[in-house]
Amino acid sequence: MYRALSRRDAAYEGVFFTGVKTTGIFCRPTCRAKRPKLENVEFFPTIVEALHGGYRPCRLCYPMDATKPVPALVEKLRRAVDDAVEGRVTDKDLAAMNVEPSTARRQFKAYHGMTFHAYHRARRMGLALRDVKAGRLVIEVQQERGYESPSGFREAFVRVFGVPPRGAKVEDCLLARRIETPLGTMLALADAQGLRLLEFVDRRGLERELVGLRHRLKCAIVPGSNVTLEATATQLTEYFSGQRMTFYLPLAPVGSDFQQRVWAELRRIAPGRTRSYAEMAKKLGIPKAPRAVGRANGSNMLALVIPCHRVIRADGSLCGYAGGIWRKQRLLEHERKFSGLAE
Check whether the bond before 45 is cis (ω within 30° of 0). Answer: no
Q: How far apart are CA 48 and CA 46, in angstroms?
A: 5
117 neighbors 111 (Cβ within 8 angstroms): no
Picking from 323, 51, 310, the residue whose alpha carbon sits closest to that of residue 186 is 323
Q: How far apart are CA 53 and CA 58, in angstroms?
A: 14
Selecting among 31, 61, 219, 308, the annotated active-site residue is: 308
Q: How far apart are CA 42 and CA 194, in angstroms?
A: 29
Buried b (16+ CB within 10 A) or exposed e, 275-301: bbbbbbbbebeeeebbebbbebbebbb
Residue 94 identity (one-letter amino acid):
L
Q: How far apart are CA 120 and CA 316, in angstroms?
A: 42
Picking from 250, 262, 343, 238, the residue whose alpha carbon sits closest to that of residue 310 is 262
User: Would residue 308 show up in a list of annotated catalytic residues for this protein?
Assistant: yes
275 to 212, 301, 330: CA distances (angstroms):
29, 19, 17
Picking from 196, 201, 260, the residue whose alpha carbon sits closest to that of residue 228 is 196
- Give the residue numbers marked as catalytic: 308
